[in-house]
């Protein structure tokens, strides 16, 4: 099939959605499909992918400036449904899509602007089906604090998803919530997990030292990393590296705290680690993508779960027979880490999370 994949975050950027899109593309290519990417240009390639296998169409223009001052940023965050990628909506007619028939068009978010852009783009494109692939939903996005009333946000979101032939959400909890929110569209709403990021790793153990890495942002409004920090600060034979945007935790002899770092540096830290630590959001129906992306590695993946939806979240994660799950408390994390000390790194990537399996399921 001839497939058009549209995203307004360049796949050259080191973002979660880029990792997802690259691995979905790998699955589509493995199935023998032709793939065209429609995306903005990004000056510096931060990801690793052989783009010679795909055709790339660049959307002209650039992101809106994000550092526009505190007050203006707050106003944009609260009043605008879409983020700093909104200027691309003015570039739809200038985006030169080859005049051919596309069996499937897949738009992916975040950013949610991708779906609005695609709706306008498809007025000028011959296609068969439109599949929307969502990360965070709009109405249930815990990272946004709109000043608009709930009914207005719901109308805006409904107007986006009603145009799709299939709507994909990446957790069963978001899928179920969206089906309840939009019952007339429940028949075309599906849950399909994120694909594993198929980068091979090989852990070289160090006698008596358990090396832990948390690589990602940790805004305390959404993710609580304090229990991990406290647990590791009191444990012997443990080293922890934290890298990402978040509170200014103080580095200790066995804890290194870094800002957000390039992907190659993050992969180097990850490869030198025994345990990849992930923490679930404090609330909401979404699951951090890193949990599933790293399922292909040979690392121990320790996931700390919050109280909200605790039992359902644990049951879901444990169903893959791949992740170690604990409560997001210092005591529970300490017990879980001690249980991983000296444990063999003999993991197998769950078949359902393979990129080819995910791609096949998306196209069904």
- Whether the link from the prior residue into 110 is cis, omega within 30° of 0, is yes
Strand partners, 3: 35, 104
Give me 347's structure tokens: 């993991």
Helix (H) or strand (E) holding 241: strand 238-243
Class of domain 210-340: alpha beta
How many C-beta neighbours within 10 Å does residue 284 have?
A: 21
pTM of the model as a whole? 0.88
Helix (H) or strand (E) holding 191: strand 189-191
Phi-psi label, residue 3: left if phi above 0, alpha if psi -120 to 50, beta otherwise: beta
Contact by Cβ (8 Å): 284, 140: yes
> In a structure prediction context, what are the per-residue pLDDT tens digits for the chain, which is 364 residues long?
999 999 998 887 777 888 899 999 999 999 999 999 999 987 666 666 777 889 999 999 776 665 555 455 554 544 455 666 778 888 888 999 999 999 999 999 888 899 999 999 999 999 999 999 998 888 766 566 666 788 888 888 999 999 999 999 999 999 999 999 999 999 999 999 999 987 766 677 677 799 999 998 888 888 999 999 999 999 999 999 999 888 889 999 999 999 988 777 888 899 999 999 999 988 888 888 889 999 999 999 999 999 877 889 999 999 999 999 999 999 999 999 999 998 888 899 999 999 999 999 999 9
Residues ≥6 apart with Cβ < 8 Å to 181: 139, 140, 154
How many C-beta neighbours within 10 Å does residue 358 have?
A: 25
Confirm whether 2-196+355-363 and 210-340 share one CATH topology.
yes
Q: In whole angstroms, give the CA distance from residue 236 to residue 147.
A: 47
Helix (H) or strand (E) holding 152: helix 150-161
- pLDDT tens-digit map of 141-183: 656 666 678 888 888 899 999 999 999 999 999 999 999 999 9
Helix (H) or strand (E) holding 215: strand 210-215
**What's the 3-state SS for 218-268?**
CCCCCCCCHHHHHHHHCCCCEEEEEECCCCCCCCECCEEEECCCCHHHHHH
- pLDDT tens-digit map of 42-59: 766 666 677 788 999 999
- Domain residue extents for the chain: 2-196+355-363, 210-340
Contact by Cβ (8 Å): 297, 318: no
* Sign of the four-CA dihedral 324, 327, 330, 331: negative
Q: In whole angstroms, give the CA distance from residue 61 to residue 30.
A: 32
Residues ≥6 apart with Cβ < 8 Å to 352: 193, 320, 358
2-196+355-363: CATH number: 3.40.50.2000
């Amino acid at each position: 099939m001839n497939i058009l994949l549209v995203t307004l975050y360049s796949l050259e950027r080191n973002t979660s959605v880029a990792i997802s899109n690259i691995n979905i593309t790998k699955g589509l290519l493995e199935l023998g499909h032709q793939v065209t990417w429609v995306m903005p240009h990004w000056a510096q390639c931060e990801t690793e992918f052989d783009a010679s296998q795909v055709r790339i169409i660049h959307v002209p223009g650039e992101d809106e400036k994000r550092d526009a001052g505190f007050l203006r940023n707050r106003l944009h965050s609260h009043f605008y449904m879409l983020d700093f990628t909104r200027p691309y909506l003015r570039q739809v007619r200038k985006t030169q899509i080859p005049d051919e028939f596309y069996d499937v068009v897949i738009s992916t978010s975040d950013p949610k602007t991708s779906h609005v852009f695609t709706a306008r783009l498809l007025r000028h494109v011959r296609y068969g089906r439109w599949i929307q692939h969502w990360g965070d939903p709009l109405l249930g996005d815990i990272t946004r604090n709109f000043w608009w009333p709930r009914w207005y946000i719901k109308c805006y979101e409904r107007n986006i998803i009603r145009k799709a032939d299939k709507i994909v959400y990446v957790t069963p909890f978001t899928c179920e919530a969206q089906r309840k929110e939009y019952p007339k569209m429940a028949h075309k709403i599906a849950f399909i997990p994120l694909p594993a990021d198929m980068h091979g790793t090989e852990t070289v153990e160090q006698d008596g030292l358990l090396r832990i890495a948390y690589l990602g942002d940790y805004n305390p409004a959404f993710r609580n990393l304090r229990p991990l920090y406290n647990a590791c600060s009191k444990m012997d034979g443990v080293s922890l590296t934290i890298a990402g945007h978040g509170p200014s935790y103080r580095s200790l002899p066995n804890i290194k705290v870094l800002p957000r770092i390039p992907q190659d540096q993050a992969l180097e830290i990850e490869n030198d680690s025994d345990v990849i630590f992930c923490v679930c959001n404090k609330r909401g129906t979404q699951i951090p993508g890193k949990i599933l992306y790293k399922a292909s590695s040979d690392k121990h993946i320790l996931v700390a779960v919050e109280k909200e939806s605790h039992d359902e979240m644990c049951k879901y994660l444990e169903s893959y027979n791949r992740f170690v799950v604990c409560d997001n408390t210092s005591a529970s994390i300490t017990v879980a880490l001690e249980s991983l000390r000296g444990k063999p790194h003999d993991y197998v990537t769950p078949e359902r999370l393979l990129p080819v399996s995910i791609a096949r399921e998306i196209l069904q």
